[in-house]
Amino acid sequence: MTGTLYGVGLGPGDPELMTVKAARLISEASVIAYHCARHGRSIARSVAEPYLREGQIEEKLVYPVTTETTDHPGGYEGAIADFYELSAKRLAEHLDAGRDVVLLCEGDPFFYGSYMYMHERLSGRFEAVVVPGVTSVSAASSVFGRPLVQRDEVLTVLPGTLPAPELARRLADTDAAAVLKLGRTFSSVREAFAEAGKLDDAVYVERATWGQQRVEPLASVDPSTVPYFSLALLPSPAYASRQSSPASPPAAAPSAGEVVVVGLGPAGPEWLTPEAASELDAAEHIVGYGPYVARVPQKAGQQRHASGNRVEADRARDALSLAASGSRVAVVSSGDPGVFAMASAVLEQVSAGHGTGVRVRIVPGVTAAQAAASRVGAPLGHDYCVLSLSDRLKPWEIIEKRLDAAGAADLVLALYNPASRTRTTQLADARAVLLRHRSADTPVVVARDVGGPEEDIRITTLGDLDPATVDMRCLLIVGSSKTRAENGIVWTPRSY
């Protein structure tokens, strides 16, 4: 009978924060395994020491390298992979002999823990049980004396090894955060907090719950003093606002700010106009659908408000509310904000009485139709119609009438939102309507992710168009009777 592998979380460092189950398993196990550096000392073992007993076999899993030094032909990744394979083999020998193995892990085994590498190598062969532990994030929050999050706030946990610009973007997009793996990454982490405009609200916690723990403002920490066992914490902003200084006399109501609805173009920064870039740089708040907000370069002090794809009205009201308090707000849209995007959503909310006194401006962007057309030539060279096939905001009967009218008028069509996971029949129906008026050999451009990493441009015909190959990230251009396609070039003559 084989033994059982236990991944035992020890908590953040204080032996009294270990669970009763963890203490029992440690005292009962035949084999105690733990990771350590070449010097042989193990923090995990020191935490578990009160529960060890005589006669237990101890397996030291000694890391052979650091990230900076190795002569392994596969570099650090190759050396560490070999180490994990050898460690798993050593533990497997005990398990095959019927001995239970407890692998000690600081914090929680599945929260950036080393145990997971043994689990993925051994759990398929042996019974594996994970015992959770108090994480360093919870410990840091407790010693700082502030809640991490409350109510609807969002907590983001990030590794400090991310590039500073990526860290800054994610910090700006969240309410509260914990950034782990500091040490040599500390300077770039502090830079990211500053870029996100949240450095003054962040706290540094070192060795939480240990006898030599350290808690101080992140901005004041000397990078040369930062060990690996530390983290940066951005606690609950709602709690902080309630704990601010005593109320002062009410200030005069601020003058209303403005909302600028900005078109980002269809993809990366090369599609952004200088005017749009200038407005984004000047904004105090960036509001928009999450993936579009992520495309905006992070600026220190600028607050970001990302939301889902189907809350345009809520997003518009939030932007107007921010502006009504005197802020400069940029609402972002992909492509052009006036084409099936946020400009009309904002103006509709203004018409409904929101944002009194707020000025609204629209900054155009390159449309998806223009971008797609540029990839193949000039299919929009004559009169054309832009139509969305989404029936989420208008009934299909209206769409079909407009398709029929555009087809009868012999207009080129740029078709937005042709399909989605839940809308699988509309494109086939639209094709059938257009075939009443167009020949089957009418050129059709299927453009997907124009300007993005998965860009794919196909030229087909109305007769050969397969709706199953089209998804929400596609835009279609259906030619008129005059549109030509030759040698990969599609154009519609200006003369009719």
Computed over every residue of the chain, the mean pLDDT equals 91
Among 171-175, 215-219, 367-371, 462-466, the range scoring the smallest mean pLDDT is 171-175
Segment holding 276, helix H or strand E: helix 274-282
> Is 0.85 surpassed by the pTM of this model?
no
Cα atoms in the 13 Å half-sphere on the side-chain side of 168: 23
pLDDT single digits (tens) 249-292: 555 555 678 999 999 999 888 999 999 999 999 999 999 998 89
* pLDDT at residue 240 in the model: 67
Segment 442-464 shows an average pLDDT of: 94
pLDDT single digits (tens) 200-209: 899 999 999 9
Nearest 5°: phi and psi at 65?
-145, 170
For Cα atoms 254, 257, 261, give the angle at the middle one, nearest 5 degrees.
Answer: 160
Task: Report the percent of the chain where pLDDT is more than 90.
Answer: 73
Segment 389-393 shows an average pLDDT of: 89
pLDDT band (50, 70, 90) for residue 472: confident
* pLDDT at residue 242 in the model: 61
Length of the chain: 496
Long-range contacts of 266-270 (CB under 8 A, 24+ apart): 266/334, 266/335, 266/366, 266/367, 266/368, 266/371, 266/450, 266/451, 266/452, 267/371, 267/449, 267/450, 267/451, 267/452, 268/295, 268/451, 268/452, 269/295, 269/297, 270/451
| Higher per-residue confidence, 382 vs 68 | 382
Nearest 5°: phi and psi at 122?
-115, -20
CA atoms of 118 and 474, how far apart (whole Å) = 43
445 closest CA partner among 396, 381, 364, 366: 381
Segment 84-92 shows an average pLDDT of: 95
pLDDT band (50, 70, 90) for residue 73: confident
Q: Starting at the edge strand that comes first in sequence, how are the strands of the sheet with 474-478 ordered?
A: 384-388, 412-416, 474-478, 443-448, 456-461
pLDDT band (50, 70, 90) for residue 303: confident
pLDDT single digits (tens) 320-370: 999 998 999 999 999 999 999 999 999 999 999 998 889 999 999 999 999
* pLDDT at residue 241 in the model: 63
204 closest CA partner among 187, 13, 195: 187
472 closest CA partner among 411, 426, 404: 426
Residue 246 has pLDDT above 70, yes or no: no
Segment 81-109 shows an average pLDDT of: 95
* pLDDT at residue 212 in the model: 85
pLDDT single digits (tens) 412-446: 999 999 988 888 899 999 999 999 999 999 999 99
| Higher per-residue confidence, 240 vs 91 | 91
Q: Starting at the edge strand that comes first in sequence, how are the strands of the sheet with 176-180 ordered?
A: 155-159, 176-180, 230-234, 203-206, 214-217
Strands 443-448 and 57-62: unpaired
pLDDT band (50, 70, 90) for residue 41: confident
* pLDDT at residue 77 in the model: 80
